[in-house]
Structure 1
Amino acid sequence: MNDFNSTVARGRTMDASIDAGLRTFMLGVYQKLTLGIALSGLLAFAAGTWEPLTQLIFGTPLYYVVAFAPIALIFGSMFFMKNPSPTGSAILYWAIVTFVGLGLGVYFYMAKSGMSYSTAGGISQALNYMTIAKAFFITASAFGALSLWGYTTKRDLSAIGSFAIMAIWALFAVSVIYMFLPMLGIMEPSSGMEWMISGGFALLSAVLVAWQTQELKEGYYSLAHDGRSLAVMTNWGALNFFIMFVNMFRFVLMMLASRD
């Protein structure tokens, strides 16, 4: 999905902060992100509290579709959306939002039932609705501050962003390996490793929030007269932001719910 971002030529404008067109474009990205977060939240609440949907999502093989569909869609987009259209990128965005939202329903199910659980690494967790609300507001506040900094800073974040992208892919590979090694009996689950992986995703996502904001800001000036490309970039920007927000939210929730 970053193929589209990488095609954007870099070109700073001194009066970017007062450019009405840029503000309109960025507001479009944030509005789509807000709608995506709202939809995923509603779906998560429904999946976790409405018994028929809870049984359908978490009590049937459909759970595996919900769990792995976002990753499959992201990887698929890298191969099949080299020249994305506004409609195609929008469908991809809302599909990922839907599947992620349904998957997050497990948190509301736990809060509703009052049950505690242990993660694969052995981290004891207990959730309630207040914990979920606190995690959301903490994440939203941090996200807003990081995006504002990325929008206003004069520092070039391209090097930091490139490093963070490479690091997050490396961390993803480590997490996949870690997921299968205990299943094969090669190593024991480790809470320390789980904290490190989750924290790494959250930290790198936080860095990418600022970088992505700057990329969108600079990309606007290169594509300001290309409505089709701006529409695609709006969808990619909202999708990247959404994934980063969810990564940060999960880690904050993990910290707040931890009983260790």
Structure 2
Amino acid sequence: MAEKWNQGVRSVPAAGSRVDASIDQGLRAYMLKVYNLMAIGLVITGAAAYGLFSLATTTDPSLAAAQINGTMLTQLGVTVFVSPLKWVLMLAPLAMVFFLSFRVHKMSVSAAQTTFWAYAAMVGLSLSTIFLVYTQESIVQVFFITAASFGALSLFGYTTKRDMSAMGSFLIMGVFGILIAMLVNIFLQSSALGFAISVIGVLVFAGLTAYDTQRIKEMYWEGDDTLVAGRKAIMGALSLYLNFINMFMFMLQLFGNRD
């Protein structure tokens, strides 16, 4: 009897281990989906940015309708980079991200995912102007620097046992401070303030990358159905995507070589 009782006791942690392993496997699959969605969004953004730049510029003087920063523009380039339509191109992503954030809980997973792809494409179109300002080599270099930094920070956020919720609140306030400073600098045109904004921006979004990774991880619940889990993954991917894009842009302002 004693032997059978001991065997029964030994079976309890084995069953618990199987449950923990199942949760860990589900969490890994959930986080992998988040990262995959984010990565696809970045690919779409890059393709849209470079695609529009290629169509909007030319090396043939006979096809040039205007010139900006030494780059010859086609008629499409004049329309999207010079005409008032450029403001629509800049503000459209902002409108779409608010739409996705407020409507995702009422959308199907496929609709939310499609909206995210469309948003990523719009961001790419609005970022196509960076090719007019910075050399393509420096854009690629800064992208890989950002990717390496993002990966390390996200890994830290995933593995750390420290509760980062208090830091998250501080960082979110920092984002609002950066926005206010950027608006002020539109009128001041101060290079020193611009440099300070870029440095602080990198630090704030670096911290948000770690914070959001931990928050997204903690959002996972093994009891979620496919619809809820899919929505969570999309919103998690959107948060990390925004952190990456903002960190990339601030790092580009710091380290990018201008044409």
| TM-score in same-fold range (> 0.5) | yes
Listed one character per residue, the Cα deviations across residues 148-206 of structure 1 (whole Å, up to 9, x for unaligned) are 01111111111111211122123223323443xx2xxxxx3211111222222221111
Q: Which has the larger radius of gyration?
A: 2
> Which has a greater percent of helix?
2
Aligned to 2:251: 252
Structure 1 residue 35 corresponds to structure 2 residue 40: yes
Q: Structure 2 matches for 1:177-256, cutoff 5 A?
A: 177-179=184-186, 182=187, 188-221=188-221, 224-256=223-255
Listed one character per residue, the Cα deviations across residues 78-132 of structure 1 (whole Å, up to 9, x for unaligned) are 555565543453344223211210122112234xxxxxxxxxxxxxxxx322111
Aligned to 1:50: 55
Aligned to 2:83: 60
Q: Which is worse superposed, 170-179 or 24-33?
A: 170-179
> Is the CA contact (8 Å cut-off) linking 1:30 and 1:238 kept in structure 2?
yes
- CA–CA separation in structure 2 for the residues paired with 1:156 and 1:134: 33
Structure 1 residue 164 corresponds to structure 2 residue 171: yes
- CA–CA separation in structure 2 for the residues paired with 1:91 and 1:172: 28
- CA–CA separation in structure 2 for the residues paired with 1:30 and 1:17: 20
Of residues 71, 96, 114, the one that matches 2:94 is 71
Q: Which is worse superposed, 212-221 or 196-205?
A: 196-205
- CA–CA separation in structure 2 for the residues paired with 1:17 and 1:99: 38
> Is the CA contact (8 Å cut-off) linking 1:164 and 1:207 kept in structure 2?
yes
- CA–CA separation in structure 1 for the residues paired with 2:175 and 2:53: 29
Of residues 134, 138, 141, the one that matches 1:131 is 138
- CA–CA separation in structure 2 for the residues paired with 1:16 and 1:148: 20
Aligned to 1:147: 154
Q: Any stretches of 5+ residues in structure 2 without a counterpart? A: 1-19, 57-73
Aligned to 2:13: none
Give the letter aligned to residue 99 of structure 1.
M
- Structure with the bigger RCO (C-alpha within 8 Å, sep 6+) is 1
- CA–CA separation in structure 2 for the residues paired with 1:208 and 1:217: 14
- CA–CA separation in structure 1 for the residues paired with 2:235 and 2:132: 31
- CA–CA separation in structure 2 for the residues paired with 1:205 and 1:85: 29
* Aligned-partner SS, 1:48: helix
Normalised to the residue count of structure 2, the TM-score between the two structures is: 0.76
* Aligned-partner SS, 2:158: helix
Q: Which is worse superposed, 63-72 or 203-212?
A: 63-72
Aligned to 2:112: 89
Q: CA 1:242–1:48 in 2, change beyond 3 Å: closer, same or farther? A: same
Q: CA 1:33–1:67 in 2, change beyond 3 Å: closer, same or farther? A: same
Structure 1 residue 101 corresponds to structure 2 residue 108: no
Q: CA 1:27–1:79 in 2, change beyond 3 Å: closer, same or farther? A: closer
Give the letter aligned to residue 25 of structure 1.
Y
* Aligned-partner SS, 1:50: helix
Q: Report the number of matched residues.
A: 222
Q: CA 1:253–1:170 in 2, change beyond 3 Å: closer, same or farther? A: closer
- Give 1:76 deviation, angstroms: 4.4
* Aligned-partner SS, 2:162: coil
- Amino-acid identity (%): 38
Q: CA 1:195–1:142 in 2, change beyond 3 Å: closer, same or farther? A: same
Q: Any stretches of 5+ residues in structure 1 without a counterpart? A: 1-14, 111-126, 183-187
- CA–CA separation in structure 2 for the residues paired with 1:171 and 1:108: 24
- Give 1:142 deviation, angstroms: 0.2
> Is the CA contact (8 Å cut-off) linking 2:198 and 2:254 kept in structure 1?
no
Aligned to 2:65: none
